[in-house]
Structure 1
Amino acid sequence: MPKASIETQTSRKIIHVDMDCFYAAIEMRDDPLLRKAAVAVGGSPDKRGVIATCNYEARSYGVHSAMASAHAKRLCPNLIIVPPNFDKYRHDSKVIRSIFSKYTPLIEPLSLDEAYLDVSDSEHYKGSATYIAQAIRHEIHKELNLTASAGIAPNKFLAKVASDWEKPNGQFVITPDEVDAFMLELPVKKIPGVGKKTSEKLHNMGVYNCADLQKLELLDLTRKFGSFGQNLYYLARGIDNRPVITHYPRKSLSVENTYDRDLYTLEDCQDQLPRLMETLKHRLARSNIDSPVNKLFVKVKFSDFSATTVEKTSFGVNDDLFYELMDEGFHRREKSVRLLGIGVRFQNTESANFVQLPLEYIDEAFDQE
């Protein structure tokens, strides 16, 4: 490991806090009848809904997030699907965020239910990240009657991996001295950006864990995986020098709708655009985003669950361009359509020519094939 990386990582104490099946846990807390049932939060099976999250009882049947609700019901006939209540979830998320802020101002939210905390300079518990994580989890349970898991490590990548190690309602620590040994046994599928297709490619190369991956040269990985090969090279060694970032400029805003019945023609799809555009413009008007729009995009998900996104540069919202993009997207498959979405991408005025995405948001190019 390069000397600079060691110095950077050993001076940092990062906690990744991840709530345990957050939405479902809130619903179970608020309705005693749900506490011993298989519970999911999501859309109705009769209206092509999708599962947002589910409890561990439901997961034992193979139910998981992003699964069609109808399929989830087939896997688990007794599954209770509760419609989401985001006002309630946001309220509890704000309470959790306020608990974090007692221990450090360096908080990077990833969603309503998880965040990174940099407690390197925290004076609480004599600077012990382990005790700080315990205190945070205890306080969340006391205030909200919800459980959280935590990972403590010298960097964000390892902290996120560690938070999954003792789920639910546990925590796991990886000290700087333990990083090298820990990485040897870590499966490559635990690396951010490595999904099913990338895992298959690595397995075909005889690479199953990070010890195998460490045997490959940086040049070999970049030849095989492009720029993502560099991430593989360093993360396989536990190296991640990304700081905890307290604010990300918003890069896009979109709206979408899943339809009860398939849309069979381009005209059917275009007939849905006025309502989608009205909703998008309403959301834009309510947002406090200062960055100018520089692209429009249309998302089409077909009846076979394949999806495509078409985008084009546009300095502002252009209704006619949405119709053009819908035309192109529909004709890429010419199948019936179950979901449509439209949105805008914003110009990052601070770095207009280059945007560096954090590792969590790497486009899994190798998994889109």
Structure 2
Amino acid sequence: MRKIIHVDMDCFFAAVEMRDNPALVSLPLAIGGSAERRGVIATCNYVARRYGVRSAMATAYALRLCPRLVLLPGRMALYSEVSRQVMRIFARYSQIIEQVSIDEAYLDVSDSTLFQGSATRIAEAIRADIRQELQLTASAGVAPNKFLAKIASEQNKPDGLFVLSPAGVPPFVRQLALSKIPGIGGKTAERLVQLGLHTCADVQQFPRRQLLYLLGKTGLMLLERAYGIDERPLQTSRERKSVGVETTFPIDIVQEEQGHAMLPELLAELSKRLQRREWQGQIARQGVKIKFSDFHQTTVERSVNRFSPQLYDELLHEAWLRGGGKPVRLVGISIGLPEAANVLQLPLDLQ
């Protein structure tokens, strides 16, 4: 039986700012871009969340919900350094660590001899180290697999610990809302509701063959999760799969030509990012992303083995048509990188 711990820092960016400036603790605080530049909220503290402010929310809307909101631009260099300190604490307790973002990670402690092999006590020790050494709080979930550990870490936020024993898995998953399952997006959740599926118990009672027919691979994943099954191992190393840049317009654009006019600037920034990473010309695909005024977005990609700046014009045109005339708030371009075993050396030429 595996023992997996998921640790998630509480409102990480905002917590670092409150630690360094205690006067912010009682104020509604958010980290994000300015409203004038069409920014979005990266994270916010729990005071701001009482007003309805949430991550990924447009800053302008957040300020309407909470006019007293203190907005900071963020200090990514500092957050990255604190993140490295957190990961070093994790490394004291396990060598099998999957970092999934700047502020969260999974640890496999199945074979650990620390604390007589108690995953619960290991999680408690990790949280204590973070509090004592970094003056920050973290929430943790302990469970037999990644999926359940992730769900468990959300149960007692902030600054909490939730332990899900193997015996407790069946009753826990039966009442679990399907929308809580990682990998179930908004559209899939809507479709499940249309099928009368709201909880894992509903899935357990639904005809298996019909579920697989209707949802394919998603249906298979859903069946496993509905019974608390997740055999995925922790991924201790990750290859970067793509590099991209994007821009949000101060005012929505309505002409496709305006989007094309932005491509040279995006190409220049993409070139800088690739050169900083000492990119040698390997490529698997190119893509264009457009976000419309209603926040729906679309991405058009094409598999290629040679970079073509002109291809972005074609992809942008195709993506633009999908909007049916809706104004556009954001345009982005990207390069997909090949798997390590399929690397093809090409000239570094973005001109």
The TM-score range, normalised by the shorter chain, is: over 0.9
> What is the distance in 2 between the residues matched to 1:306 and 1:123?
49
How far does residue 329 in structure 1 lie from its aligned partner after superposition? 2.0
Q: 1:342 aligns with which of 333, 339, 342?
A: 333
SS in 1 for 2:234: coil
In structure 1, what is the equivalent of residue 276 of structure 2? Answer: 286
1:132-165 deviation line (CA, Å, top 9, x unaligned): 1111111111121110000000100000000001
Residue 115 to residue 289, structure 1, CA distance change in 2 (3 Å): farther
* Bigger Cα displacement from structure 2, 314-323 vs 75-84: 314-323
* Bigger Cα displacement from structure 2, 77-86 vs 92-101: 77-86
In structure 2, what is the equivalent of residue 224 of structure 1? Answer: 214
* Bigger Cα displacement from structure 2, 306-315 vs 50-59: 306-315
In structure 2, what is the equivalent of residue 27 of structure 1? Answer: 17
After the TM superposition, which residues 204-223 of structure 1 pair with which residues of structure 2 at under 5 Å, given as runs? 204-223=194-213
Give the counterpart letter for 1:322 in structure 2.
Answer: Y
Residue 289 to residue 248, structure 1, CA distance change in 2 (3 Å): farther
Give the counterpart letter for 2:241 in structure 1.
Answer: K
Give the counterpart letter for 2:301 in structure 1.
Answer: E
RMSD: 1.7
In structure 2, what is the equivalent of residue 105 of structure 1? Answer: 95
Give the counterpart letter for 2:4 in structure 1.
Answer: I
> What is the distance in 1 between the residues matched to 2:331 and 2:283?
20
> What is the distance in 2 between the residues matched to 1:351 and 1:340?
29
1:44-103 deviation line (CA, Å, top 9, x unaligned): 012111011111111111111111000111111111111121101100000001001111
Give the counterpart letter for 2:331 in structure 1.
Answer: L
Q: 2:76 aligns with which of 78, 83, 86?
A: 86
Matched positions, count: 342
Residue 80 to residue 316, structure 1, CA distance change in 2 (3 Å): farther
Residue 160 to residue 309, structure 1, CA distance change in 2 (3 Å): same
> What is the distance in 2 between the residues matched to 1:153 and 1:332?
43
SS in 2 for 1:272: helix
After the TM superposition, which residues 1-369 of structure 1 pair with which residues of structure 2 at under 5 Å, given as runs? 10=1, 12-287=2-277, 292-333=282-323, 334-350=325-341
Contact 1:250 1:289 in 2 (8 A): no
Residue 187 to residue 346, structure 1, CA distance change in 2 (3 Å): same
How far does residue 193 in structure 1 lie from its aligned partner after superposition? 2.0
Give the counterpart letter for 2:212 in structure 1.
Answer: T
Q: Give the percent of matched residue pairs that are identical in Structure 1 and Structure 2.
A: 49
SS in 1 for 2:268: helix
TM-score by length of 2: 0.93
SS in 2 for 1:18: strand
* Bigger Cα displacement from structure 2, 236-245 vs 187-196: 187-196
Give the counterpart letter for 2:227 in structure 1.
Answer: R
In structure 1, what is the equivalent of residue 348 of structure 2? Answer: none
Residue 274 to residue 42, structure 1, CA distance change in 2 (3 Å): same
Residue 288 to residue 116, structure 1, CA distance change in 2 (3 Å): farther
Which consecutive residues of structure 1, in runs of 5 or more, have no partner in the other structure? Answer: 1-9, 353-369
1:9-36 deviation line (CA, Å, top 9, x unaligned): x2x1100000001011111111222110
Residue 111 to residue 59, structure 1, CA distance change in 2 (3 Å): same
Contact 1:254 1:344 in 2 (8 A): yes
> What is the distance in 1 between the residues matched to 2:213 and 2:147?
24
How far does residue 276 in structure 1 lie from its aligned partner after superposition? 0.8
Give the counterpart letter for 1:338 in structure 2.
Answer: R
SS in 2 for 1:214: helix
Residue 200 to residue 314, structure 1, CA distance change in 2 (3 Å): closer
> What is the distance in 1 between the residues matched to 2:31 and 2:239?
29
How far does residue 351 in structure 1 lie from its aligned partner after superposition? 7.8
> What is the distance in 1 between the residues matched to 2:157 and 2:188?
25
Residue 237 to residue 17, structure 1, CA distance change in 2 (3 Å): same
SS in 1 for 2:284: strand
Give the counterpart letter for 2:92 in structure 1.
Answer: K
How far does residue 289 in structure 1 lie from its aligned partner after superposition? 6.2
> What is the distance in 2 between the residues matched to 1:21 and 1:332?
36
Give the counterpart letter for 1:38 in structure 2.
Answer: P
In structure 2, what is the equivalent of residue 363 of structure 1? Answer: none
> What is the distance in 2 between the residues matched to 1:195 and 1:308?
15
Residue 340 to residue 221, structure 1, CA distance change in 2 (3 Å): same
> What is the distance in 2 between the residues matched to 1:278 and 1:206?
49
> What is the distance in 1 between the residues matched to 2:143 and 2:342?
30
* Bigger Cα displacement from structure 2, 241-250 vs 343-352: 343-352
* Bigger Cα displacement from structure 2, 49-58 vs 200-209: 200-209
> What is the distance in 2 between the residues matched to 1:291 and 1:130?
47
Contact 1:256 1:340 in 2 (8 A): yes
Give the counterpart letter for 1:133 in structure 2.
Answer: A
